[in-house]
Amino acid sequence: MTDYAFGKQPPEGGRICVVGAGFMGCVIATLYVHHGYDVVICDSNPAMLDSYSQRARPIAAGLVESDAQVEALLQRVVRQASLPEAVDGAFMVHEAIQESLEIKQALFEELDRLCPDSVVLATNTSSLPISDIAKRLSHKERVIGIHYVTPGHIVPVVELIHSPTTPPELIAWARAMVKSIDHVGVACLERPGFLVNKIQFAMLTEIYRLMDEGLATREDIDDAVRLSLGPRLALWGPLLTEDLIVSKKTALAVTDSIYQQTGDETYKGRKVLRDLVAQDHLGAINGAGWYRFKDTPEEVVAKRDRQLRALLDWLQEADPVGELNVR
Ligand SMILES: NC(=O)c1ccc[n+]([C@@H]2O[C@H](COP(=O)([O-])OP(=O)(O)OC[C@H]3O[C@@H](n4cnc5c(N)ncnc54)[C@H](O)[C@@H]3O)[C@@H](O)[C@H]2O)c1
């Protein structure tokens, strides 16, 4: 492929082929058609195409208001059993078949033969390296992970998984692609766990350890996260939260203290954190941490507390946990 034939922007209303009409294929096809793309869905199992509308209906119902709009969305997705016909005219093929390297490799080889060089080949893989999926392709550089986080029609973030040799132009293109469907792309290298699972399992493995060691009950763990970390992370993410709530000197002292008490290298203060302390970038408290702050520390604290109070009041009023509570 020369000059990045896929162009700078995805073509508005252009054709996308989704391969795999299972759980994720239904979500992805519905999202794309909802945002005006011309969608063809392909599956090697005809029964999956037959039952597509039934399985995609609750997803469409989560995106539009009326029954008529739901039916219109479902009808606009063309079902096609033949792969060569399904990919014809598509500017992107989004693969959502089962998580097997061998099966994905075989499909991508076929897609590489069938599709002109300008066609982007995207995979929804949850765990496989892009380089491995693209290993035997003539045009590896057009393969990228566009990985939806369940429930993908509601969760805004989409991971854009790339290999060390993926052209930056393709990552930018994929960002524009997911932006066109009101999602937010976060780019990450093809490392195990990518970004979301890597962070999620860092927390979960600690929680499993606490439980194994009998240090806390499941109820107290859920409350601790739901009523402290959860609302703060939802508002600001982990790094901005740190800037807003603690000096970097204290953060470093705490992580080092856990390291000294446990001998567990995971907690040893990292270079990125030590560098900030060395530069006196302590957080909102002195105007710069991971981020820079225009407002005074007092203004930042007042705004922080207003936002957190509003979210906690909303949670209290909406009481979504009360509904789900299994205790
Ligand atoms: N299930 C999730 O929550 C989730 C979330 C994010 C990502 N993913 C990833 O998305 C992908 C799909 O997962 P899923 O849960 O939707 O799988 P699924 O088993 O529900 O569906 C896979 C579909 O692919 C079809 N298929 C298999 N080989 C095919 C081929 N060569 N050509 C055409 N169709 C073929 C199957 O008939 C089936 O309908 C996987 O890579 C998975 O890891 C899943």
Q: Residue 8: what pLDDT?
A: 76
Tokens of 227: 């009523």
Domain end among 164, 193, 222: 193
Q: Whose CA is nearest to atom 20 of ligand 1?
A: 22
The Cα 326–Cα 319 span in angstroms is 14
Is 133 a domain residue?
A: yes
The Cα 140–Cα 117 span in angstroms is 10
Q: Residue 316: what pLDDT?
A: 85
The Cα 77–Cα 17 span in angstroms is 10
- Indicate whether 135 and 45 sit together in one domain: yes
Q: Whose CA is nearest to atom 19 of ligand 1?
A: 98
Q: Residue 320: what pLDDT?
A: 60
Is 6 a domain residue?
A: no
Q: How far is the CA of 94 from the centre of ligand 1 (A)?
A: 11
- How buried is 88 (Cβ within 10 angstroms: 0-12 exposed, 13-18 middle, 19+ buried)? middle
- Residue type at position 200: Q
Pocket perturbation via mutation, ligand 1, pick of 17, 113, 126 by most ligand atoms within 8 A of CB: 126
Pocket perturbation via mutation, ligand 1, pick of 18, 23, 104 by most ligand atoms within 8 A of CB: 23
- Indicate whether 253 and 231 sit together in one domain: yes
- Indicate whether 45 and 114 sit together in one domain: yes
Is 299 a domain residue?
A: yes
Q: Give, in order, the Cα–Cα distances in Å from 131 to each of 27, 128, 196, 197, 230.
A: 25, 9, 20, 19, 34
Is 153 a domain residue?
A: yes
- Indicate whether 273 and 205 sit together in one domain: yes
- Indicate whether 139 and 187 sit together in one domain: yes
One DSSP character per residue, 50-91 reads HTHHHHHHHHHHTT-SSHHHHHHHHHHSEEES-HHHHHTTEE
Q: How far is the CA of 95 from the centre of ligand 1 (A)?
A: 8
* CA 127 to ligand 1: nearest atom: 43
- Which of 132, 238, 148, 209 is closest to 184 using CA atoms? 148
Q: Residue 171: what pLDDT?
A: 97
Domain end among 162, 193, 224: 193
Quote the domain boundaries for residue 251.
Answer: 197-324
Is 297 a domain residue?
A: yes
- Indicate whether 58 and 119 sit together in one domain: yes
CATH number for the domain spanning 37: value is 3.40.50.720
- Indicate whether 166 and 245 sit together in one domain: no
CATH number for the domain spanning 237: value is 1.10.1040
Q: How far is the CA of 104 from the centre of ligand 1 (A)?
A: 10
Is 8 a domain residue?
A: no
- Indicate whether 184 and 204 sit together in one domain: no
- Indicate whether 100 and 245 sit together in one domain: no
DSSP for residue 228: I
- Indicate whether 154 and 74 sit together in one domain: yes
Q: How far is the CA of 24 from the centre of ligand 1 (A)?
A: 6
pTM of the full predicted structure?
0.93
- Indicate whether 43 and 180 sit together in one domain: yes
Pocket perturbation via mutation, ligand 1, pick of 48, 59, 98, 100 by most ligand atoms within 8 A of CB: 98
Average pLDDT, the chain: 95
Q: How far is the CA of 169 from the centre of ligand 1 (A)?
A: 27
Domain end among 193, 217, 250: 193
Q: Residue 325: what pLDDT?
A: 61
Give the alpha-carbon dihedral of 270, 272, 277, 283, to 10 degrees: -120
222-226, Cβ contacts within 8 angstroms, sequence gap of 24 or more = 226/321
- Indicate whether 79 and 226 sit together in one domain: no
Residues flanking ligand 1, CB < 6 Å = 19-25, 42-45, 48, 96-99, 103, 107, 124-126, 147-148, 150
Is 2 a domain residue?
A: no
Is 110 a domain residue?
A: yes
Backbone angles phi, psi at 2, to 5 degrees: -115, 155
Q: Residue 182: what pLDDT?
A: 97
CB atoms within 10 A of CB 115: 21
Q: What share of the chain is helix, strand, coil (3-state, %, to 5)?
A: 55, 15, 35
Those residues whose C-beta lies under 8 Å from the C-beta of residue 153, and which sit 6 or more positions away, are: 27, 30, 31, 59, 62, 63
Those residues whose C-beta lies under 8 Å from the C-beta of residue 91, and which sit 6 or more positions away, are: 6, 10, 11, 14, 15, 16, 118, 119, 120
Residues of the chain with pLDDT under 50: 1-2
The Cα 2–Cα 117 span in angstroms is 9
Indicate the number of domains in the chain.
2
